[in-house]
């Protein structure tokens, strides 16, 4: 999961990596660091901010305030802009440095480009950029040393690389990227910070957990996962189809197939039926999030039960709906596998309003008809 | 290793006295797997449901001759369990745990590679040789011996495909759930040669997802292979939310690879048939393998 730049830079600071003076703005713009000009940057956890209008250079305090107020409250690449980072502009030649996990080799990939970030996409397009080495400090240092052997700023770059490697290895990051990187005789400054964390390591990374917990608005999906133990990702706050599903791949496929039929799914969900343990709590939580969206028109339940008992699940589903009276949209339930007949019988009794089928295609058609009919 | 698994292959279950370990040890045995033993930190001289239980992998391997293990450990305990199994001489590991930390997965991958062991997982439902044995959770209702070899990142999506193949009168020769993690054991490209070498296999079904570069690696391997068996691919995640569902870690580092477009183009160029829906993939496989269908 990508951290916002301000959080990435806080980690940089903690590991001795230079960053520009800055102030994080969520409302009124306080006194600005230095004399300007300044960069005003939307703090959203997604790449491509510059192209989407989320990064502006401003020459005066008035221009900074105008840019900040224009960005705050808008949506950028699917994320609400809740904060902007205002920082002093850094001048000088732009370079690029990143260290990332390389899955295929069980190593890390080190990329250094003296020409800077402009060439990064081009250089990495072919997939072969940089060099791969073992995921340890010595190997990374040796690899970077080869890359910067002829660079006049070799010593500065080696010191920076050591700190970046230390950050990646001790905080168990997936990617640590500085683009642009400014190097001068007085040292190096990270113009941006792109850090991808591993949410699965968070139990042994207390400071990463603190970063996530401090911004429940920005890291909404991650906080949900940490607190609830399952994945619920809101895809479109104006979506019409709520998905009550298990399994990441199948849930993604259903989203694709519903979208291809003209539907607009509200959410992705992997509820993990194997972990319900006889309690409807998770189902109630997911239904409550769905019901909060006024655009919701229909809920599709899809459970393919290999090990889960559908009779037990359908009882939990009916219990959960009893506990969620504000959920008032049609429910299409596709239940196939273990206990399928018993489940259909239970639902026919308790929720005769449900459309229950064992056929996935039929359930998708039914959902498309419900949301299409109301459009 | 994977191609030669059968009902005589001795398998142990690490963590057999836990709720999940015991349940799945019994389900695997009922399917036909030779569950020769298990391990537990609890001293369990009476065994579990007739299966001998040992306190270490070394003791389990010494007593049973096991070569394969299903590791029923929590995500943060998977690395230690795998290291113990490798030290005991286990040559095939299935690790279903969901949520193994990335840096642990790097260490597991390097350790398995160093001793030439095969690691399948994590975050996967396991593997099966239908009609012979299974290691992991693959539901019996989805399994039948037949001509289609399945490799999949997703458990549930592969269940759906396997189930419909069975209902269409087809079944599977080999089924490997490689799992949904970024850093993992066996990858799609590793399976092309063994699937092509397997005499029972007449078609290969690849069930992928956006993110990472495995589908692209597989496409490269396929393009280099003369006379491969036909490949049918289904890629989920066309509408996945950027930066969240897939982590987006590789998007810049690997340029345009990782997107659905990239995967579809590379696979198609290499000669695979790529589908946008489960139904269309099943229809194509069923039509092309009509001669292999069982009469029902």
Catalytic residues of B: 248
Rounded Cα gap, residues A286 and A302, in angstroms: 14
Contact A247 B253 (CB under 8 A): no
What is d(CA A113, CA A178) in angstroms, rounded to the nearest whole number?
A: 11
Q: How many residues does chain A have?
A: 375
Q: How many CA atoms lie within 13 A of B1 on its CB side?
A: 18
Burial of residue B227 (number of CB atoms within 10 Å: 0-12, 13-18, 19+): exposed
Q: What is the full DSSP assignment across B247-274?
A: --THHHHTTTTTSHHHHHHHHHHTT-EE
Mean of all residue pLDDT scores within chain A: 92
Residues of A in contact with B138 (CB under 8 A): 306
What is the enclosing helix (H) or strand (E) of A267?
Answer: strand A267-270
pLDDT at A3 over 60: yes
User: To the nearest whole angstrom, how far is the Cα of A350 from the nearest Cα of chain B?
Assistant: 27
- For B292, the 3-state DSSP assignment is helix
pLDDT in tens, B259-285: 888 899 999 999 999 999 999 999 999
How far is the CA of B189 from the CAs of B203, B219, B272, in angstroms?
Answer: 15, 8, 13
| Complex ipTM | 0.91
Is the confidence at residue A139, as pLDDT, over 70?
Answer: yes
Give the C-alpha separation, A299 to A363, whole Å.
11
Judge: B155–A337 Cβ closer than 8 Å, yes or no.
no
Per the CB < 8 A criterion, the answer to whether B76 and B64 are in contact is: no
pLDDT in tens, A351-368: 999 999 999 999 999 999
Q: Which runs of consecutive H residues, i.e. helices, occur in A3-136? A: 5-14, 61-71, 120-125
Q: Is the dihedral of CA A75, A77, A82, A87 positive or negative?
A: negative
Tell me how close the Cα of A149 comes to any Cα of chain B, in angstroms.
Answer: 23
**Among the partner residues B207, B209, B248, nearest to A2 by beta-carbon distance:** B248
Do the Cβ atoms of B183 and A103 come within 8 Å? yes
Q: In whole angstroms, give the CA distance from residue B110 to residue B93.
A: 14
Out of B76, B157, B247, the one facing A247 most closely (by C-beta) is: B157
Return the percentage of chain A with pLDDT > 90, whole number: 75
Helix (H) or strand (E) holding A282: helix A281-291
Nearest CB to B106; choose among A77, A101, A260:
A101
d(CA A196, CA A149): 28
Question: For chain A, how many helices (H) and strands (E)?
Answer: 12, 18
pTM for the full model?
Answer: 0.92
* A359 within 8 A of A332, measured Cβ to Cβ: no
Give the tens place of pLDDT for each residue, A187-200. Answer: 999 999 999 999 99
pLDDT tier, A118 (very low <50, low <70, confident <90, very high otherwise): low
User: Which of A300, A282, A287, A284 lies closest to A243, judged by CA?
Assistant: A300
Q: Which residue of A has its CA nearest to B114?
A: A106
Distances (CA, A) of B247 to A208, A309, A320, B120, B182: 16, 32, 31, 22, 9
Give the number of A-B residue pairs with CB atoms closer than 8 Å: 188
pLDDT higher than threshold 60 for residue A90: yes
- Which residue of chain B has the CA closest to A96? B253
Segments of chain B scoring below 50 in pLDDT: 245-255
Cβ distance B252 to A194 less than 8 Å, yes or no, reads yes
Sort out which chain B residues have CB atoms less than 8 A from A175's CB and list them.
Answer: 249, 253
Nearest to B12 by CA among B61, B69, B58, B96: B69
Strand-pairing partners, residue B149, are: B204
Nearest to B159 among A135, A256, A304 (CB): A304
Question: In this model, does residue A120 exceed pLDDT 80?
Answer: no
pLDDT at position B247 is 31
Question: Which band of pLDDT confidence, cut at 50, 70 and 90, is reported for residue A248?
Answer: confident
Report whether A311 contacts A346 (CB < 8 A). yes
Cis before A215? omega within 30: no
B113 contact residues in A (CB cutoff 8 A): 106
B105 closest CA partner among B209, B179, B189, B41:
B179
Query: What pLDDT does residue A233 have?
Result: 86
Q: Work out the number of other CB atoms within 10 angstroms of the CB of residue A234.
A: 21
pLDDT level of residue A283 (50, 70, 90 thresholds): very high
Closest Cβ–Cβ partner in A125, A135, A169 for B255: A125
CB atoms B180 and A249 under 8 Å = yes
Cβ distance of A121 and B252 shorter than 8 Å: yes
**pLDDT the model gives residue B246:** 37
Q: How many CA atoms lie within 13 A of A139 on its CB side?
A: 12
pLDDT grade, residue A119 (50/70/90)? low
A-chain CB neighbours of B182 within 8 Å are 101, 103, 174
Q: Report d(CA B272, CA B135) in Å as an integer.
A: 28
Residue numbers in B near A336 (CB within 8 A): 163
pLDDT above 70 coverage of chain A, percent: 96
Task: Supply φ then ψ for residue B37, to 5 degrees.
Answer: 180, 180
Would the pLDDT of A257 be above 60?
A: yes
Closest chain B CA to residue A108: B106
d(CA A191, CA A193): 7
Asked whether the beta carbons of residue A201 and residue B102 sit closer than 8 angstroms, the reply is yes
DSSP H stretches of helix in chain B: 19-31, 57-64, 78-87, 102-115, 155-167, 188-197, 214-223, 250-253, 260-269, 278-288
* Residue of chain B minimizing CA distance to A273: B156
Give the pLDDT confidence score for residue B29 in this predicted structure. 98
- Residues A303-358 pLDDT 10s: 998 778 899 999 999 999 999 988 889 999 999 988 999 999 999 999 999 999 99
Query: What pLDDT is stored for residue B150 in this prediction?
Result: 98
d(CA A102, CA B44): 41
Whether A151 and A110 have beta carbons less than 8 Å apart is answered as no
Q: Which two tokens stand for residue A161?
A: 């690389």
Residue A62 to residue A56: CA distance in whole angstroms:
13
- Cβ B106–A107 below 8 Å, yes or no? yes
B237 or A146: which carries more pLDDT confidence?
Answer: A146
Interface contact flag, B237 A256, Cβ < 8 Å: yes
């Amino acid at each position: 999961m990508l951290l916002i730049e301000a959080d990435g830079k806080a980690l940089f600071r903690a590991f001795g990596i230079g960053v520009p003076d800055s102030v994080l703005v969520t409302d009124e713009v306080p006194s600005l660091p230095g004399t300007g000009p300044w960069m005003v940057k939307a703090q959203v956890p997604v790449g491509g901010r510059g192209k989407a209008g989320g990064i502006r250079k401003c020459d005066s305090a008035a221009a900074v305030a105008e840019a900040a107020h224009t960005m705050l409250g808008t949506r950028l690449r699917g994320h609400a802009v809740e904060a902007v980072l205002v920082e002093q502009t850094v001048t000088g030649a732009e370079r690029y440095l990143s260290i990332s996990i390389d899955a295929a080799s069980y190593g890390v990939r080190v990329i250094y480009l003296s020409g800077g970030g402009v060439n990064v996409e081009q250089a990495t397009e072919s997939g072969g950029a940089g060099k791969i080495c073992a995921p340890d400090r010595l190997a990374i240092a040796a690899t970077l040393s080869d890359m910067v052997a002829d660079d006049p700023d070799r010593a500065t770059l080696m010191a920076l690389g050591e700190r970046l490697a230390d950050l990646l290895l001790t905080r168990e990051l997936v990617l640590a990227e500085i683009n642009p990187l400014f190097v001068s005789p007085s040292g190096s400054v990270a113009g941006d910070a792109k850090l991808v964390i591993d949410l699965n390591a968070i139990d042994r990374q207390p400071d990463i957990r603190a970063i996530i917990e401090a911004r429940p608005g920005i890291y909404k999906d991650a906080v949900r996962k940490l607190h609830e133990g399952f994945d619920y990702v809101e895809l479109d706050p104006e979506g019409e189809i709520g998905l009550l599903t298990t399994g990441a791949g199948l849930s993604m496929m259903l989203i694709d197939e519903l979208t291809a039929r003209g539907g607009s799914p509200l959410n992705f969900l992997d509820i993990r039926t194997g972990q319900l343990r006889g309690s409807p709590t998770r189902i109630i939580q997911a239904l409550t999030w769905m019901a909060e969206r006024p655009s919701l028109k229909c809920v599709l339940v899809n459970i393919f039960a290999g090990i889960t008992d559908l009779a037990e699940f359908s009882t939990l589903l009916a219990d959960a709906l009893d506990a969620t009276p504000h959920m008032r949209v049609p429910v299409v339930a596709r239940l196939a596998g273990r206990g399928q007949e018993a489940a259909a019988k239970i639902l026919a009794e308790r929720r005769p309003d449900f459309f229950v089928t064992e056929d996935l295609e039929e359930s998708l058609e039914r959902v498309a008809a419900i949301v299409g009919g109301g459009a | 290793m994977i191609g030669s698994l059968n009902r005589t292959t001795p398998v142990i279950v690490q963590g057999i006295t836990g709720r999940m370990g015991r349940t799945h040890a019994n389900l695997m045995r009922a399917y036909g797997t030779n569950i020769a033993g298990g391990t537990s930190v609890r001293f369990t001289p009476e065994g579990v449901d007739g299966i001998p239980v040992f306190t270490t992998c070394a003791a389990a391997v010494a007593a049973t001759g096991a070569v394969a293990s299903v590791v029923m450990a929590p995500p943060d305990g998977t690395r230690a369990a795998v290291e113990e199994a490798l030290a005991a001489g286990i040559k095939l590991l299935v690790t279903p745990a969901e949520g193994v930390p990335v840096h642990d997965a790097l260490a597991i991958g390097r350790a398995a590679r160093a001793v030439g062991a095969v690691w399948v997982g994590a975050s996967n439902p396991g593997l099966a040789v239908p009609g012979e044995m299974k290691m992991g959770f693959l539901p019996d209702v989805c399994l039948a011996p037949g001509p289609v070899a399945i490799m999949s990142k997703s458990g549930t999506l592969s269940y759906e495909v396997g189930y419909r193949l069975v209902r269409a009168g087809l079944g599977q020769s080999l089924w490997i759930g490689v799992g949904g993690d970024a850093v993992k054991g066996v990858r799609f490209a590793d399976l092309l040669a063994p699937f092509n070498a397997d005499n029972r296999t007449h078609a290969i079904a690849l069930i992928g997802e956006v993110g990472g570069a495995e589908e692209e690696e597989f496409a490269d391997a396929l393009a280099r292979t003369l006379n491969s068996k036909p490949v049918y691919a289904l890629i989920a995640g066309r509408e996945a939310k950027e930066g969240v569902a897939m982590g987006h870690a590789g998007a810049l580092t690997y340029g345009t690879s990782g997107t659905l477009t990239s995967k579809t183009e590379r696979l198609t160029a290499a000669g695979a048939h790529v589908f946008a829906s489960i139904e269309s993939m099943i229809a194509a496989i069923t039509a092309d393998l009509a001669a292999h269908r069982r009469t029902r």
